[in-house]
Amino acid sequence: MSGYCDGYDADFNRAKRMIPFAIATSLPMILIALAAVSGGVWGGLAVGYVTVLIFFMDRLMATPMKNAEPEAEFPAATPLLIGLGLAHFGLLALALWAVAGESGLTLAERALVAISSALVMGQISHPVAHELIHRPARGLRLMGKLIYSSFLFGHHASAHLTVHHVHVASRSDPSSARPGEGLYRYITRAWPGAFRAGLRAESRLRSGANKAVWRHPYALYLGGAALVLSASAAVFGLRGVATLAFIAGYAQLQILMSDYVQHYGLRRATRADGRPEPVGPQHSWNAPHRASSAMTLNAPRHSDHHVTPARAYPALQLRAETMPMLPHSLPVMAVLALVPPLWRRIMDPRATHWRDQDTSGETARDLAV
């Protein structure tokens, strides 16, 4: 009987842990749908939710969420991803109609729908797609790739898996911000760099395999982007293309800002044989804030994701003693990154501390060997 009760309690606790993720990710999508259909205050509420409300909730809920059991399974985690992924496609179509179509909305209402949609796609659709491309099931990975392709960022699916996770915190990874590198310089380097590095990696994996060109992942990414652009143009004309470009561009900007913040200035030490040390918890920045973590599917628990990329997002671990911690929540740090001198004043001493600590530890390990 006690075993049954223990199992029931464990199931109940896992289900309860999923509630914040479900609410934090679904509510802004509902608000945007209401804004697209009805206009009024809903657009302002959608923008305010993702920005102001999440900021204050992070401040009010000071205690970080407790770590789940590292090997715990969460059966509801995948259905939530699928539901959010399907909602993403519906939301994108609805936003294009509301902003570029005959929706009857005022200019201000259309602007709020466009801005809130871009915010949600950069901060919710992106973590959803990111989780999906890490799943072993082919259908789930395809959904993740299609989500990225729908806002013209399909190459991220390949660059993230074949380049970023392999070379993170080294000069070989375009998505790892270098010490002292400003956000704007990073963006102009990271976007094309990741595109090219992902293309090279995927082509290298297929060299000699005699596979049809159309089966190359980049054919899906470019074809998907062309399809979305063509459909937007066919249905809504140039206004549709402009709306998609704005939403996609703003969403991509947030993804790049997130990558910039989460790896800024951290470097893997070089071993005696010239190769970088294995990826460890000290090679990513983290944040313990509960509201923004729930909305982004625990993306701020970034170190554990890189150390154990197969771990489900509700079970990601956070250990302040071994993981670099951001001084503020991830969204706040992204805003601070917009002012490079302020950003460097805050983050350079912290990044130097972790690099020095990592180098000392690597030297000690080499001497021990």
369 residues of the chain, pLDDT tens digit each? 544 444 445 666 777 889 999 999 999 999 999 999 999 999 999 999 999 999 999 999 877 778 999 888 899 999 999 999 999 999 999 999 999 999 999 999 999 999 999 999 999 999 999 999 999 999 999 999 999 999 999 999 999 999 999 999 999 999 999 999 999 999 999 999 999 999 999 999 988 777 777 789 999 999 999 999 999 999 999 999 999 999 999 999 999 999 999 999 999 998 888 899 999 999 999 999 999 999 999 999 999 999 999 999 999 999 999 999 999 999 999 999 999 999 999 999 999 999 998 765 543 333 232
Examine residue 207 and state whether it is found in any structural domain, yes or no.
yes
Tell me the DSSP string of 123-184. IIIHHHHHHHHTSSSHHHHHHHHHHHHHTT-THHHHHIIIIIHHHTTSTT-TTSPPTT--HH
Entry pTM: 0.93
Indicate the SS3 state at residue 270. Answer: strand
Examine residue 347 and state whether it is found in any structural domain, yes or no.
no
Question: What confidence score (pLDDT) does residue 364 get?
Answer: 34
Q: What's the DSSP call for residue 76?
A: T
Question: What confidence score (pLDDT) does residue 208 get?
Answer: 72
Examine residue 330 and state whether it is found in any structural domain, yes or no.
no
How many distinct structural domains can be found in the chain?
Answer: 1
Examine residue 179 and state whether it is found in any structural domain, yes or no.
yes
Examine residue 291 and state whether it is found in any structural domain, yes or no.
no
Q: What's the DSSP call for residue 298?
A: T
Examine residue 145 and state whether it is found in any structural domain, yes or no.
yes
Total count of residues recorded for the chain: 369
Structural domain harbouring 254:
2-265
Examine residue 114 and state whether it is found in any structural domain, yes or no.
yes
Examine residue 276 and state whether it is found in any structural domain, yes or no.
no
